[in-house]
Chain A
Amino acid sequence: MEKKALLISGNESCVEGALYAGVQFYAGYPITPSSEIAEGLAKKLPKYGGVMIQMEDEIASMGAIIGASLTGKKSMTATSGPGFSLKQENLGFASFNEIPCVIVNVMRGGPSTGAPTGPSQGDVMQARWGTHGDHPIVALAPNSIPEIFTETVRAFNISEKYRIPVVLLLDEIISHMREKITFPEKGELEVIDRMKPTVPPDQYKPFDVSNSPLPLVPPMAAYGTGYRFHVTGLNHRTDGFPTNNGELIEKELHRIMGKLDLYKKDMFRTEAYMLEDAEIGIVAFGSSARAAKYAVNELRKQGIKAGMLRYITLWPFEGAAIEMLAQKVKFIVVPELNMGQLILEVERAAQGRTKVYGVNRVNIEIIHPHDIMEKVKELSHGI
């Protein structure tokens, strides 16, 4: 039987992806442009045996998903910039205590409460460095309705497998637009659950990796199953209790940050479009990447050999692809719906091998293919 094609929004696709991945708990405080995720899970999650709570605020929502995750449930919340700011303290707690959770941030115009219904990609740096201190975090940025589904599943998988909070960074355009999708069948996509401890409860240490089959990742017991599991925001020993031992503090920080390096390959995903013979590189993500791909096609019709590198995994940022691109193209253009954030990483990775230029908008309108084409043409004349 042919599968039925549906017309659904990005937020609805995120709901379906989360259910596919096995989400069991959602807590949130509705905020445009993410509210349809709360709405969808309020309707559907109870039917899957899960729980959805509308909390009193953004901070409590983040606290609630941390608590739920500690009991062994796959947990998520959804928000937008102003709420993402409020969640940062608890997000740091989740990151430091290696508590799996998925935080959807549907970016809107900022700063502060900004433009609730206006699109933006202004939270690129906040997704990485919104909470203080060196901490591991992953951010994924899909750009279509089917990809929101698959990346939501992947967000849960990465978070559960490596015990790292994952930010699903959407923007207002792809969250609210509707596109065709056919849902994958059960079993078609891999669904990963967190590793459980194999030692008896009296020998369990929640941050001990000495017997873990997955290097650097400690198995995780669920609260209420007989295991002692202490969590604190303070630097802690492998048994979870606070420590001021500098050597141990450094060792543990290196371990949790080391997961990003060790498993980078598994986390990293890009799309390369027409890069083989490209003389001009466009590096983009999210909705801006759709304008970029369109621009590549149009530019090629006009004899300009452009190509696009799209970052689906934004953090950890993998610079190797940029390094290679920078060696062969005349220049790189980075279109983004902010005043220049991803471009900083691109410049860093390019290491001066080629010039890098931004195409930016903060007028709450989507980046238009013509914006990119004009910039490329203008720069091409100068060469």
Chain B
Amino acid sequence: MSKNTEIRLSGEGGQGLILAGVILASAALLEGKNAAQSQYYGPESRGGISKSEVVISDGEIIYPEVADPDLVLVLSDVASIPYTKDVRRDDTLVIFDSGTVKKFPDLKHGRIYKLPFTMTAHDKLGKPFIANIIALGTIVGLIGVVSKESIEKAVLARVPKGTEELNKTALLEGFELAKTIKK
């Protein structure tokens, strides 16, 4: 059985986590892989706890949600504790947004990083809402679950017309942030 890569993108409604998950899963399909993308969100469209999970595999995906995370992204305080609870391996990457997350869980496992997704989106691109695409770039830069070319193709296929350049720049910023992490 081939090893799955299990990624959880968490935060709150309005941060574009579901779109980011769909893009990542589409990128995997472009490479002929299997992918399953699932989500949780509350009845409110903005502000409530939200997550999007992506499982990518060369083989069959049996359980469609994250059973044993390889990477957890946290973009908001509401998600910080509940969605990092099941980190039980030391090599699981847990990445917090250094600007928007103030509450950090007391984790026994995982490699923990804090990166300025929202600050970069705000200061460098003038659009705080594009933190999701920057984070996607970082995830791909860090674990290479899909190629940079595939993620770019998948991003461009799913974003509104007229925002292509902005999104490409956001991905590049994400790739750069990944380089700041020493493995």
Contact = CB atoms under 8 A, between A and B. Distances in A.
A297 interface: yes
Nearest to A173: B38
A7 B37 contact: yes
Q: Tell me whether chain B's interface is mostly helix, strand or loop, or mixed.
A: mixed
A364 B29 CA distance: 29
A178 B63 contact: no
A370 interface: yes
Nearest to A6: B29
A183 interface: no
A221 interface: no
Q: How large is the interface on B (under 10, 10 to 19, 20 to 34, 35 or more residues)?
A: 20 to 34
B43 A116 contact: yes
Residue with the highest number of chain A CB atoms closer than 10 Å, among B26, B62, B67? B62
B63 A291 contact: yes
B169 interface: no
Interface in A1-31: 5-7
B64 A173 contact: yes
Contacts of B63: 290-291, 293-294, 369
Interface in A43-67: none
A324 interface: no
Contacts of B65: 173, 366
Contacts of B29: 5-7, 180
A235 B82 CA distance: 55
Given A291-B63, A294-B67, A179 B1 contact: no
Interface string A166-194: 00000001101111100000000000000
Contacts of B43: 32, 116-117
Contact of A180 (B22, B34, B38, B41): B34
Residue with the highest number of chain A CB atoms closer than 10 Å, among B1, B32, B42, B64? B64
A367 to B, nearest CB: 10
Contacts of A370: 67
Contacts of A368: 67
Interface in B52-71: 61-65, 67
Contacts of B35: 7, 178-180
B130 interface: no
Contacts of B34: 179-180
A179 B22 contact: no
B5 interface: no
B5 to A, nearest CB: 15
B62 A293 contact: yes
Given A7-B22, A7-B25, A293-B62, A369 B38 contact: no
A252 to B, nearest CB: 44
Contacts of A32: 43
B36 interface: yes
B78 to A, nearest CB: 15
Q: Which 3 pairs of residues, A with B, have the shortest CB-CB distance?
A: A294-B63, A177-B38, A178-B37
Given A117-B43, A179-B35, A369-B63, 12 more contacts: A7-B29, A7-B37, A117-B42, A176-B39, A177-B36, A177-B38, A178-B36, A179-B37, A180-B35, A290-B63, A293-B63, A369-B67
Interface of A: 5-7, 32, 116-117, 173-174, 176-180, 287, 290-291, 293-294, 297, 366, 368-370
